[in-house]
Structure 1
């Protein structure tokens, strides 16, 4: 297994604004061949992290020691979304797939423990648990939002009039268990109240028109009242979902980020990261060669995208698909989990670990390649294209 080690140091930019360049601790080649890393998510207590791959499997690692725990296999098509269960079921991992199923896995035994099927003709792109008892499961499908009672696996509702294209995101709002936000390729964000018998006519509260296909969204703010929204054409917008009010729209977000980053041109955005301390929001942009930058987003007072405050480069050779940050305040480089800044995964099949300090063990290898590669006999031959 190859490994590259770099120190963390402040680097000057032509604009005289310094940023922190984070060191590459090590990287793990998850498979032979051209398989993608899709998503990296942490367990609630950070004792493990799950990594979805284009092999239709999910692998488990320790985010601190890098130990490989094993994999969960069962999906027959692309895994579109993974998430650990809440504190009441800390060892349960959920996944949804284009095979039309949502599965639950016991991460101690790596065995499937539950399955819900939306039908072989459906593709499930996203799911979320919420409702008054946290047992209401919502799922975004082709142009529908489906609901089940997770306790008995019975479907309780189907919303099919609010969207006219693939529903890429469904999220129950944190601290608002009965509020569901959905987003679609049709460019609409819909906000629903899921109390009672759910239907399109009575439970659709408001609609936000982003006007282009929506890839990802997330909540932030003291009471999670704000939304950030990234589209498939790399625009960024900020909204207050409670009154469907636009707070900022960056239709030229890539250009703004590129102009404030002298190293490379930003080709795409991966995610957004929010820190409650100082109420700061960053958009994470990347290059086709694998470099990443954390760009601060000023969505107040006219708005703007500032110079990169963290740069991660040298860890990937292709497009990065997922970022898992393990610190709260990027600018200060706060130490957490033995100086680990976080993990990234991409289309080169690598998991890269990044350091936020001058740790004494930067020259130590973490993971034996024999633990993480799969047999060449089962190697996936065709490269999976992004959604």
Structure 2
């Protein structure tokens, strides 16, 4: 399961509106403009996932037609090619080799691609569940994946198959399947994230509502599970961030709530429910129209929330940030040049503050400070300017 499927909602036009009387720029005072935008293809093509490689100045977008499109940071197209026949479920640039990126799919494979040869010669490596070929084995569609900081291990999560959900581990050098965990989730594993610097720390989230943290250096699954919390709602995305020098996770659920969990604590310290996000972050009236795109670490604030309203003809895309138990308005991302269709994914450049979004209209858009706005002209509709920026049993498996 990916982002909440809001595309089928039948919302009346103009049923959502701002809950303030001031000009938008007074409430969302950090001003941004649409810098660049590009269409990835036909209107029916969604942008599902985005990732950015700073050293190669490359943005990768995973599309609903099974393609990956590559662009410069100014959205100049480099290449587009087919990576999977089935739905793409993961996209990640290599953490150690800037010319490489990985993709995963419901077709039960993770593939490694090389920017230097593009897609014409196919993937340079393929990772698949070799145990499916064993007697009694079965295929497991891959719903998510992550590569650890040292790039020694690749881990993928699966759908629930025959009553079990799996974390599968490969040696990224040899493509060998090392083993798996299968006792810590009881439904589809929707999201996986290795810690950005600790190669042994892995987090997973599931439709079962549970978010787990593992130390994969431990000899068994039972010992590897070091922390867990239950959101009691299907987990959509997780992201590592640092709060007061401690490892923390931002958790986004399919009910559009956000949990901020310092993993050394027994439970999340802050929970922002959908109605709070609507009223405080978006400053909108319709809770049913509100959705969360993603949460991004930044230089000046621990986190930025990127959220939107799905209301037809009156949609919006806005940035807010948590301060104590409240959400504070930050910026309104709006332009007459593109429609704010449901935004499925986003990335943020922490050093420049640029935000790149991908939506259901097949538009990738880059939002930047006013002096970098598209064609260096002010967009009257844009609010513009600078952003600084469960029980366990022992499973004998050790990835090492």
Normalized against structure 1, the TM-score is what? 0.79
Residues 180-225 of structure 1: CA distance to partner in whole angstroms, max 9, x if unpaired?
Answer: 111100000111111154x322222222111110000111115451
Q: Which runs of 5+ in 2 are unaligned?
A: 1-20, 133-137, 160-164, 378-400
Structure 1 equivalent of residue 205 of structure 2: 183
Matched, 1:362 2:375: yes
- 1:105 aligned to 2:118? no
Determine if the alignment matches structure 1 residue 296 to structure 2 residue 318. no
CA distance in 1, matches of 2:212, 2:84: 29
Preserved CA contact (<8 Å) 1:126 1:139: yes
The answer on whether the counterparts of 2:235 and 2:254 sit within 8 Å (CA) in structure 1 is: yes
Deviation at 1:24, TM superposition (A): 1.9
Unaligned runs of 5+ in 1: 1-10, 329-335, 365-387
1:78 to partner: Cα distance: 0.7
What is the CA deviation profile of residues 278-311 of structure 1, one whole-angstrom value per residue up to 9, with x for unaligned ones?
x43221111225521001112x3xx111224343
In structure 1, the partner of 2:257 is 235
Aligned residue pair count = 335
Using CA pairs under 8 Å that are at least 6 residues apart, name the structure with larger relative contact order, 1 or 2: 2
101, 121, 127: which one aligns with 1:116: 127
User: SS in structure 2 opposite 1:177?
Assistant: coil
1:68 pairs with 2:74: no
Deviations 1:135-174 (A, max 9, x none): 1111111211011111111111211111010111112222
Tell me what 2:396 maps to: none
Q: What residue number does 1:214 align with?
A: 235
Structure 1 residues 313 and 20, CA gap change in structure 2 (3 angstroms): farther
1:34 counterpart (44, 54, 77) = 44
User: Which of 289, 293, 308 pairs up with 1:286?
Assistant: 308
Whole-angstrom distance in 1 between the partners of 2:83 and 2:48: 17
Q: 1:6-62 CA deviation, whole Å, 9 max, x = no partner?
A: xxxxx9548964523422234212112311001111014251110000011101000
Match of 2:91 among 82, 99, 104: 82
In 1: Cα distance, 2:280 partner to 2:229 partner: 29
Which residue of the partner structure matches residue 393 of structure 2? none
Output the CA distance in 2 between the equivalents of 1:361 and 1:347: 21
Looking at structure 1, the residues matched to 339 and 178 of structure 2 have their Cα atoms a distance apart, in angstroms, of 44
* Residue of structure 2 equivalent to 1:246: 268
Assess if the C-alpha contact under 8 Å between 2:148 and 2:199 holds in 1: yes
- TM-score under structure 2 length normalisation: 0.77
The one of 344, 361, 365 aligned to 1:321: 344
